[in-house]
Amino acid sequence: MTSTAIRPFRVDVPQAQLDDLNERLRKALWPNELPVVGDAYGVTNDRIRELAQYWLTEFDWRALESKLNSYPQFTTEIEGEDIHFLHVKSSRPDAIPVILTHGWPGSVLEYLDVIEPLTEPESADAPAFHVVIPSLPGFGFSGPTRSTGWNRYRTARAWVELMNRLGYERFGAIGNDGGSFVSPEMGRIAPDQVIGVHVTQLFSFPSGDPAEMEGLSEEDLAGLAHLQWFHENKMAFNTLHSQQPQTLAFAISDSPVGLLGWNAQLFSEGLDADFVIGNVAIYWLTGTAGSSIRFYYEDAHAEHPQGPTTTPTALAMFKGDFQSIRRFAERDHKNIVSWHAYEVTATRSTGPNDAAGHYAAHEATEVLLADIREFFARLR
């Protein structure tokens, strides 16, 4: 019988596991690389060597572990799976419950920077929030999934159950990357409970109807051109995850450098090394490198519901990231009430392939916070 108990959780990785990781990093075998091709063939030796060296000699897992453990963490069983989550309550009696969902290759680390300003804003006029940040099923501290079918829709149902289990009858949903798939589906599943959906991408694409393309702005056409470039040059991960995740799992579950190389393709060079390595380390140390990528397979083989969502929806997109096209988004989401595009400046030098702003909660914290506050303030 499934238990609905909510159990306290602390991160406590055995030292022997960290020692094994260091030994594997020291003994890494490096691939041959063609000269003068840059990253045309994929992530480069130089970049992964630099990150691996940082992981081995400078990255402090225990410090990250301590930071995570400074927040209340819990696990609960939903549909036979262990679900890990942070749950930080505001002291404000008018606080709005929200659930924030990450994607791949991110983790709960995506949202650590927004916890304090959301729960305890400096201004009494700013809305406050009770914050729930779960690890997706099969990701990080939720551990590997034990059953099939954990796509965006089943995850959205689980998140509604989680919020209900925590005693929240009305709540908002916030998401990035995979979370931008899950959060709108929460509104579809529970429209009477989800007060609003705030995402950083609305993944709506041309339907194939030529009439949809008529009269698009230059900005929209440029966004489509960027999407086409990404599809032709950077979508190998999506194809492999969607078709043969288990085949890849052998490599990324056995080699931390292999995992680093694979996951780093979607971490911009402008991101700080602690953020990149912290996310990769969570996958390695929880044994979820292989189970996490099954999310793509499950989603590709899911039965997708027909018709648009109707929950009030906000988009805060960043110009280095996926560019949503409003005409297509409004076909799939009939109640978009806020639409903003922002620039973001990387903290380090960045190349033309970087999706600056993809991890907006970390890269452009204040910008994202302001957008979240503005949206939910109007829904109260």
DSSP per-residue letters across 144-203: --SSS--SHHHHHHHHHHHHHHTT-SSEEEEESTHHHHHHHHHHHH-TTTEEEEEES---
What the block records as the tokens of 216 is 């698009």
Assigned domain for 34 exists: no
Assigned domain for 199 exists: yes
Domain total in the chain = 1
Residue 185: predicted pLDDT: 98
Assigned domain for 343 exists: yes
Residues of the chain with pLDDT under 70: 1-2, 345-354
CATH number assigned to the domain comprising residue 285:
3.40.50.1820
- Distances in Å between the Cα of 62 and the Cα atoms of 12, 87, 101, 140, 323 are 9, 21, 24, 16, 37
Nearest Cα to 178, choosing from 201, 158, 204? 201
Per-residue model confidence as pLDDT tens digits over 197-210: 999 999 999 988 88
Residue 202 lies in domain: 6-29+42-378
**Catalytic residue annotation:** 177, 296, 358
Assigned domain for 1 exists: no
Cα–Cα distance for residue pair 133/82, rounded to 1 Å: 14
Assigned domain for 333 exists: yes
Assigned domain for 36 exists: no
